[in-house]
Every structure is written in C-alpha cells, then in structure tokens.
Amino acid sequence: MSFKRLATLTVAYLCACLTAGSIFGLGFELWMPSSSVAELLRALFFFAAFYSVFVILFALIPAAVGIVVAERAAIDRPRWFALGGAAIGLGSLGIMTLSMLILSNDPFGRLRDPGVDIALASDIAIVAFAGACAGLMFWTVAVWLPGRTRILWPRAAP
C-alpha cells in the first residue's frame, strides 16, 4: 500500500468520523431542543466536535479491521460500506454500553427506569444511521473520488 493510499484512507476515516459526529450531534440535539436558533447551532457544533472525537476513539479498531478487509477484497460497492459503517457503529455502542455496565455499581438498575427502552431504541437508531452515513462518506472519499469503483458514474480517464 502506497503512502498516497494510506493518506487517502486516513482522510476518508476522519471525514466519516466528522459525518457520524455531526449526525450524533443533530440526533441528540433533537432530543433536547434549545430555545433559540443560536443556541441550537452552538450546541450542534459543540456536539458535532465532541461526538466526532468520540467516534474517532471508539470506532478506530473496528473500522481499521473493516478497512483492511475492504482493501484486501477490493470491495467497491457503497452498500457494503454503509452496512459495515452501521455494524461498526452498533459494535462500538455495544462495547461502550458493556463497559458502562461493568464499571457501574448497579449494572441493571438503570434498565429498570421508566422510558429507558425508548431511549435505548432511539440511540440504536441514531447510531446505526450515523454509521451508515459514515460508511457512505468513507466510500465517497476513499473509493469513488479516486476512481477506484466500477459502478455508478465511472470517472473518465485523464
């Protein structure tokens, strides 16, 4: 693998994490609406930056495995990147939830709270959607823009 390809994959990963972080910020801000547009934008940018760093840290190892598999198998279909992004997001959410349960004093006490099932379902939906969008962003930057795909709109040779 060349240095140029490694740099492309790194930029694609960072773009995908920024995409997922922005969707997290928007999705979780919809649960806690602000009183004005200025507060909404301020909170959205804060949450986008915060969750982007969160995604970079929690999804690095699963994403690295997925990137290596996609590169070795020469996968160039966007649906596989979307499914892989959703799976990586859900896997990261599971790892985070499991670690929070293990480190908690009362692991299942929070699960008995009323309304936790709706909150958990919404978190799962937001994470899966954000992961799928991040996978598509990764595909766009790492596969389609460099012209490494045979589908959709192939780039003309220079």
Count of domains observed in the chain: 1
The CA distance from 88 to 79, in Å, is 14
Q: Which helix (H) or strand (E) holds 124?
A: helix 116-139
Q: What is the mean pLDDT of residues 141-157?
A: 68
Q: What is the structure's pLDDT at 132? A: 93
Answer yes or no: is 151 within a domain.
no
Query: What does the pLDDT read at residue 153?
Result: 54
Report if residue 149 sits inside a domain. no
Report if residue 105 sits inside a domain: yes
Q: What is the tens place of the pLDDT at every residue in 78-106? A: 889 999 999 988 888 887 777 777 777 76
150 is a domain residue: no
> Considering the domain boundaries, does residue 82 fall inside one?
yes
Q: b/e map of 98-131 (b: 16 or more CB within 10 Å)?
A: eeeeeeeeeeeeeeeeeeeeeeeeebeebbbbbb
Q: Does residue 93 lie in a domain region? A: yes
Model confidence over 26-44: pLDDT tens digits?
777 776 665 677 777 777 7
Check residue 109 and give its pLDDT.
64
Domain of 21, in residue numbers: 3-144
Q: Is residue 153 part of a domain?
A: no
27 lies in some domain: yes
What pTM was estimated for this model as a whole? 0.77
Tell me the average pLDDT across 99-114: 69
